Amino acid sequence: MFGKFYNKINYKKYLFIILLVIFSLLYLYLFNKYDYIKSFVYKSSNKSNNISSKLLYNSLNKVISYEDMIIRANENDNIKKASKIVNTEETKIDTKPIIYIYNTHDTESYTLPFISDYSITPNVKIASYILKDHLNDLKINSVVEKRTIKSYLNKNNLDYSYSYQASRNYIKDELKKNDYLILIDLHRDSATKKYTSYEKDNKKYARIMFVLGKNYSTYSDNEKFMNNLNDRINKKYRGLSRGVFVRKSSKYNQDLSKRAILIEVGGVDSTLEEINNTLYVFANVLNDYINEEIYGRK
């Protein structure tokens, strides 16, 4: 008798659980939460990159090529290429890369919770790919460094303070492959929105700042280059650039090229929309500079 009573209790228990799961799924579906279910399910399978990347790509309003979307699998293997789902017709550029984009502090992140929902950190690496996309639209071939700074530091038993040594090693490797005209070290500032936000014609931007090191003999070449870009930006968007900040005791690997720059794009509170708008302006300024100052085209 007690056995039958026990089985009856178990039956009701399992039935309740099944009904609870069914109603929970129905609720999520009706309130447009199904994408989160799919994302969660696929994250525990080999298809996680495809689904979560697609969701993120759509949420970013496609300001970055899908093929360049980054999935942070782990700290030592940050870059994974995902297959492109839309916009399959990509601009073809036959020339060699002329701009090398890298991030000495590649873990610097922006405070964008909606991206974090997809387990992808919104950081300067994503900003680098956005810049690459805008340059690509202008038929300017550029390369974004895929190797992480941490992997170099771990391999050589170095701490974070040696980050510029790590990026220097990567730069030298790249300069052996291509004669880059411009080197860009992209960072984000630690300043708050009060100092890093800008608005013009009801459009929001993340302010940009150039950082110049002077602890090497040829710094004047880079100083001239940065001042030129700063003036070009502020001529069209007065105040968008915060100017050129000088550090006499540093060189930031700028001794490796006469057109090597460090830029701070926005701050911790900058939104992806603001970053995208600023990098669009910056890419066009670079395009004008290259055509006028390097190739002599007007």
Each residue's pLDDT tens digit, 124-134: 998 999 999 99
Q: Per-residue pLDDT for 54 more than 60?
A: no
Q: Give the position of tokens 């839309």.
A: 86
SS3 203: strand
| Separation CA 144–CA 132 (nearest Å) | 7
- Which of the residue ranges 64-73, 85-94, 139-148, 247-256 would you say has the lowest mean pLDDT? 85-94
Split at pLDDT 50, 70, 90, the class of 68 is low
- Which of the residue ranges 85-89, 115-119, 248-252 would you say has the lowest mean pLDDT? 85-89
| Residue from 131, 121, 72 nearest 101 by CA | 131
- Detail the DSSP E strand segments found in the chain: 99-102, 142-144, 182-187, 197-200, 203-206, 208-213, 241-247, 260-265
Copy the structure tokens of residue 269: 């509170």
| Residue from 272, 241, 253 nearest 112 by CA | 272
For the chain, domains (ranges, CATH) are: 89-294 (3.40.630.40)
Mean pLDDT of the chain: 79
Q: Give the position of tokens 């799961």.
A: 21
- pTM given for the model: 0.74
- Predicted confidence at residue 256, as pLDDT, reads 97
| Residue from 163, 78, 176, 91 nearest 128 by CA | 78
